[in-house]
């Protein structure tokens, strides 16, 4: 049985899509280039996306501890989750949401939505014309995060480290994981591609879902891979 992502963590990030922003493709002066200080993500699925019934997540660990945000987060206390970017929609309106994972001193975890301007998160839907791809370019300064209350809780700090990890995850509307990068699909704990964000890189092949990987029973949630480009 698939492990469940905790509702208390993802609720704020995943269901408040009506408060998000839809950004038009290719803002003037940007084109297909990656702006300095931005990270570009191309997110590919094996079949057409269904933003009403499937949530498309990009989970990041900016703490520098090298741990990957896997779908078993509910069982591990979200130790390798710092931020989540979610692309989903209702009533035909699709928007990105940015959420910071904050650990409470008394135990438990909350997910705090971050506010951002249209120039800080640039979402372009259906970039390949087949509705199996979107691109998202965002300002890495968003991951400086929300200043924590005193005393300071555990990482992520307000200054992310220079080596991040990440994962692509799809879930249903009940927040059950449907798929993830790596051979194990929704149960995978092998995928690990570090992101040295202080350098320029373009990772493409590293994100491709390997042949023979476990597949989600929901075809709209099946991941194919993608690309991540960094401009320091």
For 27-71, the pLDDT digits (tens) are: 333 344 899 999 999 999 999 999 999 999 999 999 999 999 999
Q: What average pLDDT does range 77-93 have in this prediction?
A: 92
Q: Using the predicted structure, report yes or no on whether residue 167 has a pLDDT greater than 90.
A: yes
Which residue, chain included where needed, has tokens 């791809």? 133
Contact 65, 80 (CB under 8 A): yes
Contact 124, 26 (CB under 8 A): yes
Q: What average pLDDT does range 18-31 have in this prediction?
A: 37
The sign one gets for the Cα dihedral 115, 98, 200, 130 is negative
Q: Count how many residues are written for the chain.
A: 232
Q: What is the pTM of this model?
A: 0.83
Q: Which residues pair with 103 in a beta bridge?
A: 109
Contact 126, 135 (CB under 8 A): no
Q: Using the predicted structure, report yes or no on whether residue 16 has a pLDDT greater than 80.
A: no
Which residue, chain included where needed, has tokens 């702006």? 35
End-to-end CA distance of the chain: 40
Q: What percent of the chain has pLDDT over 90?
A: 66
Angle CA 116–118–123, to nearest 5 = 105
Q: Using the predicted structure, report yes or no on whether residue 17 has a pLDDT greater than 80.
A: no
More confident residue, 160 or 190: 190
Mean pLDDT (the chain, rounded): 84
Give the tokens for residue 161. Answer: 């480290």
Long-range Cβ pairs for the range 203-210 (8 Å, 24+): 203/227, 203/228, 203/229, 207/168, 207/181, 209/46, 209/181, 209/182, 210/182, 210/183
Quick one: pLDDT at residue 28? 35
């Amino acid at each position: 049985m698939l492990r469940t992502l905790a509702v208390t963590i993802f609720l704020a990030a995943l269901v408040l899509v009506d408060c998000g922003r839809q950004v038009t493709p290719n803002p003037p002066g940007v084109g297909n280039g990656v702006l300095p200080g931005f990270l570009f993500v191309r997110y590919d699925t094996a079949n057409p996306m269904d933003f009403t019934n499937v949530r498309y997540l990009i989970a990041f660990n900016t703490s520098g501890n090298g741990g990957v945000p896997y779908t078993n987060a509910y069982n591990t206390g979200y130790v390798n989750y710092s931020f989540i970017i979610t692309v989903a929609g209702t009533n035909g309106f699709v928007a990105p949401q940015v959420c910071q994972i904050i650990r409470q001193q008394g135990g438990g975890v909350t997910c705090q939505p971050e506010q951002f301007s249209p120039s800080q998160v640039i979402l372009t839907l259906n970039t390949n014309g087949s509705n199996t791809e979107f691109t998202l370019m965002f300002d890495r300064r968003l991951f400086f995060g929300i200043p924590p209350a005193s005393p300071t809780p555990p990482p992520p700090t307000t200054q992310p480290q220079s080596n991040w990890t990440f994962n692509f995850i799809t879930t249903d509307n009940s927040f059950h994981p449907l798929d993830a990068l790596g051979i194990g699909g929704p149960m995978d704990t092998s995928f690990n591609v570090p992101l040295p964000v202080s350098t320029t890189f373009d990772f493409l092949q590293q994100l491709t879902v390997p042949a023979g990987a476990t597949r989600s029973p929901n075809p709209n949630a099946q991941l194919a891979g993608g690309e991540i480009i960094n401009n320091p």
